Amino acid sequence: MTPRHPRPRQFANLRAPDIVTRINDRSVLVQPLGAIEQHGPHLPLSTDLVVADAVAGAAVERVGDDLDVWLLPSLAYTKSDEHAWSPGTVWLSTSTMLSVLDDVGRCVATTAARRLVWFNGHGGNSALLGIANREVRRRHGLMTFLAHPSLPPDQGGASTAVEHGFGIHGGADETSLMLHLAPELVDLDAAARRVPEHLVSNRHVRFGGTVPFGWLSDDFSDDGVIGDPTVASAERGAELFDAAVDTFCDVLAEIAAFRFR
């Protein structure tokens, strides 16, 4: 049998004595978060988890030794209630999610590490992670940070020009990333454009506009896609992945050097 070669610098692979000898006050712990939720008829439920885990793992492998970064096991179940209408979506309530994040922070705080990074692959988690940043900082004394593989369009990030800022879920970029990372899980023949054209001219009430609004993924289409996966490609996915890893490596360098005063 061929031996497995796990990623280096995985926190869960340390032995108990290693926590004292290898984790110190300059160590950075990265907690990836994904989701198990519908991503339309063409992508797997695990899309956000696959992307977050892959980008975080590649970045930690690249800079972990130099910056003393450690990768925590990814959280698969998170806050995905905007997709609760779709069977197969497995999601945590707001109170449960905040409790899980606080529990992770509480446990990290028993080590010598002082820096905890939430690496979030699912935009629906962002608001709660912002709250957790401060709560975990206040309750457990950790320095806490929130980073993404890419900033979601509804939070000020970009999507492709053909999506007009509405490439939120199962669109061109997510599909391209999955064609690069796990093409065997993608059925591009089932992909269809789902862009709310009637909102494109809005200046304020739109994704990334000045007036946020509550939404469920099936508000825009019956299959829950918001974007245009038909323009996706593995080549574009490779570019996006490399850029995400490069950016997160830069982010980790700044986090490792961060201080309040």
**2 pLDDT tier (thresholds 50, 70, 90):** low
Residues linked to residue 194 through DSSP beta bridges, in sequence order:
227
Residue 84 has a pLDDT of: 96
Rounded Cα distance between 37 and 248, Å, is 24
The yes-or-no verdict on residue 247 having pLDDT over 90 is yes
**208 pLDDT tier (thresholds 50, 70, 90):** confident
Residue 153 has a pLDDT of: 81
Span 140-162, average pLDDT: 88
pTM reported for the whole predicted model: 0.94
Residue 3 has a pLDDT of: 53
Closest CA to 40 of 229, 195, 241: 229
Q: Mean pLDDT for the chain?
A: 95
The token duo for 240 is 């996006």
The yes-or-no verdict on residue 55 having pLDDT over 60 is yes
Rounded Cα distance between 238 and 132, Å, is 32
Span 53-67, average pLDDT: 98
- In order, the DSSP letters of 96-155 are HHHHHHHHHHHHHTTSS--EEEEEE--GGGHHHHHHHHHHHHHHH--EEEEE-SS--GGG
| Residue 159: CB atoms within 10 Å | 25
CATH node for 11-254: 3.40.50.10310
What amino acid is encoded at 177 in this protein? Answer: L
